[in-house]
Chain A
Amino acid sequence: MAPYESESAGRRKATRYVVPVAVVGVAAATIGLVPALADSGNPDLPKISAQQLIEKIAKSDVQQMSGTVKISTDLGLPSLGGMAGGFTPGAGGSSDGKAGSSADPQSKLTELATGTHTLRIAADGSDRHKLSVLDSAAEYSVIHNGDEVWAYDSASNEAYHAKDAAAAGDRAAKHPKGETPKGVPATPKELADEVLKASGKTTSISVEGTSQVAGRDAYKLLVKPKQAGSTVGGITISVDAKTGVPLKFTLTPAGGGKAVVDAGFTKVDFSKPAASTFDFTPPKGAKVTEGDDLKARDKSHAPKEMPKDMPKDMPKELRDAQGGGMKDLKVIGEGWTSIAELKLPGGQGLPTGGSASGDVPPEAQKFMDALGDHVTGKFGSGTVFSTRLVNALVTDDGKVYAGAVTKDALVKAANAAQ
């Protein structure tokens, strides 16, 4: 700027920059305020008891619906993408999946266990369902239409086909209905079903006000463990006031912080979905894997999804896993605080600070120590590996105690088992 220019001209020039700054300000205010405004105002609904609300859910007979579901899962595992598969006794679920077909429903749905995903579901009657997982520039769909079950992975242009819905039922077909394939929770409804099944003496259930989910008025059902020692803080299920369909499911850990699982509709529509939604013919050139091929392969890898499940599924899942080759499995306790006890193959514990074996390089030793906490007790010593929900104690003599319980509860269980 020229030194002899008048000061007022300079100021006038400077004021022009107010415009872009104002635009930024307005945008920031909009981004900050709009969700807050949209969130405000819990709807006024007639009071209802927990019993009535559960009945409402049970009575709910919605046959036709479609919508978008957002699922966020934060188990506190290191976010290494497909690594979660490597944690499992089935070993190499992730690397294995590639060897078969990427359209195999089971290997695909495993991915839902970590991170945030957007799903679309559509249902028309009891025999037409569709579930799609929206990826970046790709989509994975499971389509059930009559006695045909298709799964299609658009990224690799591969399809999976099963002819008989009864045979495929436990895998993909019934997925949008409630019986999950191997316990991967996908829709709010089936998550809620699981919770209600697990309720009993161990659980308190109450109605905690109302909220708005996907633009619909909903009751909030709060499910809390009564037992001490559970890492589950509470589960909130938002139930649509009109139809009784669960719209949102949130699982918060006892330790506080972000929800471990947060699944809810962002859009829901109870009208009949277009018939073409459920039509599928594999595109020309798509690689189609028939269901029977996969089944044979899957038998040997049955337990591969176990540890990523909901805590209340744990005992059930572990029992499933028993059939898959782990004979030394026991379940201690009941309800929320069930702890699974199993023996590591070979009877060898993980090398820990306490039992530094000579063949472990010091770096690896440090790495193991960083991953888990060293604990000692009547049972001897071991290492506790923690996630936000599930803790596992690996003792030096090769036993594993795992459950959705606190570290102390694990040590107590290990002591008692001694």
Chain B
Amino acid sequence: MSQAEATAAGTTATAASDASPVRKRIWTLGLFRSELVTTFRRWRTIALLAVLAGVPILVGIAVKIETSGGSPAAGGGGGGPAFIAQITNNGLFLVFTSLAATLPFFLPMAVGVIAGDAIAGEANAGTLRYLLVAPAGRTRLLLTKYATTMTFCLVATLVVAVTALATGALLFPLGDLVTISGTRIGFGEGLVRALLIALVVAASLVGIAALGLFVSTLTNSGIAAMATTVGLLITVQILDQIPQLHAIQPYLFSHHWLSFADLMREPVYWDDLLKNLGLQGLYAAVFGSAAWARFTAKDITA
């Protein structure tokens, strides 16, 4: 763990990013692909995805048991996660309910674990300097890590959505659905909206993914980075609940998360959706560039 080594690694990285012809040749998806395989082969990742897949199954079974006596879900009072009242009539609503149930905590927590682990985990395991010895460059490694994390966002969301759809199809009838505006749309369009919602939910996680990556560049301990990211998530979620803080709430990354439900209005109400996507983009830009500033200037000692 000598200083010379770190400097050497740093020099290699700088040299690689400066030598553009060399860089062009190796600017393939090889690194990304190997990162992806490494990440998704980890037991930790598989366990996270299994937990996420369990949520819609549990919700579906719970609603089925609860309503088997003929009573409406959620006691008719509108409690519980969004859309839960409609599940018994249309299994497709289980997709929306599951996403609404997992988005506030399960999904971002899983993303926080993956993002927090991205750089700090490598440093912790002592593999980061080997990654940097390869003439890939720090910027590129960081981009690869971020792309991997975002892929995880998408995969995690789709796992929830697909499991929910399968569970919903098994336990409940499918068919035309009524939007929350009271108009009726066909099942095909319903599926399209479900897919759109899944994409929006995945995009909603971009902000916390960038935040987690930045935290990950700050420390050499994977656990510390994950805990910090998840801690930040919980803090932000709590801040978002305190009415006295309404002035800052529109700028919290989780504030517009549930706006994905606006896709179920007819016509779609875009205002909050666009605000959410813009905010996620802003977080990605700020913390992505902060992570870049930190990581490219950092002494790699492990």
A residues near B, CB below 8 A?
1-2, 12-14, 16-17, 19-20, 23-24, 27, 68, 79, 98, 102, 118, 120, 132, 134, 136-139, 141, 143, 150, 152-158, 266, 276-277, 279-287
Question: Judging by beta carbons under 8 Å apart, are A156 and B181 in contact?
Answer: no
Tell me whether A287 and B72 are in contact (CB under 8 A).
Answer: yes
Q: Are A137 and B72 in contact (CB under 8 A)?
A: no
Residue among B86, B90, B183, B287 facing the most chain A CB atoms (10 A cut-off): B183
List, in ascending order, chain A residues with CB within 8 A of B100's CB: 137
B4 to chain A, nearest CB (A): 10
A136 and B258 in contact, given A27-B282, A158-B76, A277-B183 (Cβ under 8 angstroms): yes
Q: In the bound complex, how far is the Cα of B266 from the Cα of A240, in angstroms?
A: 26
Q: Are A27 and B286 in contact (CB under 8 A)?
A: yes
Q: Which B positions have Cβ atoms within 8 angstroms of A? A: 3, 7, 72, 74, 76-78, 82-83, 85-86, 88-90, 100, 177-184, 243, 258, 261-262, 265-266, 269, 271, 282, 285-287, 289-290, 292-294, 296-297, 299
Is the pair A24, B286 in contact by a Cβ cutoff of 8 Å? yes
Q: Across the interface, name the chain B residue whose C-beta is closest to A157.
A: B85
Contacting pair B289 A2 (CB below 8 A): no
Q: How far is the CA of A13 from the CA of B296 in the complex (A)?
A: 8
Q: Which residue of B lies closest to A284 (CB)?
A: B89
Given known pairs A27-B286, A137-B261, the reply for A16 and B293 (CB within 8 Å) is yes
Q: How far is the CA of A286 from the CA of B177 in the complex (A)?
A: 12
Selected from A12, A16, A132, the residue in CB contact (under 8 A) with B181 is A132
Number of residue pairs A-B, CB distance < 8 angstroms: 120
The answer on a CB contact under 8 Å between A138 and B293 is no
* Chain A interface SS verdict (over half): mixed
- Residue of A2, A19, A79, A283 touching B299 (CB-CB under 8 A): A2
Could you say which of B72, B181, B269 contacts A157, with CB atoms under 8 Å apart?
B72
Q: Report whether A137 and B83 are in contact in the complex, using a CB–CB cutoff of 8 Å.
A: yes
Kindly identify which residue among B3, B77, B290 contacts A98, using a CB–CB cutoff of 8 Å.
Answer: B77
Give the contacting residue for B72; candidates A12, A120, A154, A285; CB below 8 A. A285
Also in contact, A153 and B78, with CB within 8 A (given A137-B261, A141-B181, A277-B266) = yes
Residues in B with CB closer than 8 Å to A136 are 82, 258, 261
Q: Within the complex, what minimum Cβ distance (angstroms) separates A402 from chain B?
A: 28
Find chain A residues with CB under 8 A from B287 CB.
Answer: 20
Sample 16 A-B pairs with CB under 8 A, ordered by A number.
A13-B293, A16-B293, A17-B294, A19-B289, A19-B290, A20-B290, A68-B271, A98-B77, A120-B181, A137-B258, A138-B78, A138-B82, A156-B77, A266-B271, A279-B184, A283-B86
> In the assembly, what is the distance between CA of A79 and CA of B287, in Å?
36
In contact, B182 and A16 (Cβ under 8 angstroms) = no
Q: Which of B78, B90, B183, B290 contacts A276 (CB 8 A)?
A: B183
Contact (Cβ within 8 A) B286 A154: no
- For the A-B complex with A157-B72, A283-B177 known, give 10 more contacts whose Cβ atoms are closer than 8 Å: A16-B292, A17-B290, A17-B293, A20-B287, A23-B285, A27-B286, A138-B82, A153-B78, A276-B184, A281-B184
What residues of B have a CB within 8 angstroms of the CB of A2 in the complex? Answer: 3, 7, 299
Cα separation A23 to B269 with both chains bound (whole Å): 28
The docked-state distance in angstroms from the alpha carbon of A12 to that of B292 is 13
CB distance from B250 to the nearest CB of A (A): 9
Closest chain A CB from B271 CB (angstroms): 8
Q: Give chain B nearest CB distance to A268 CB in angstroms.
A: 14
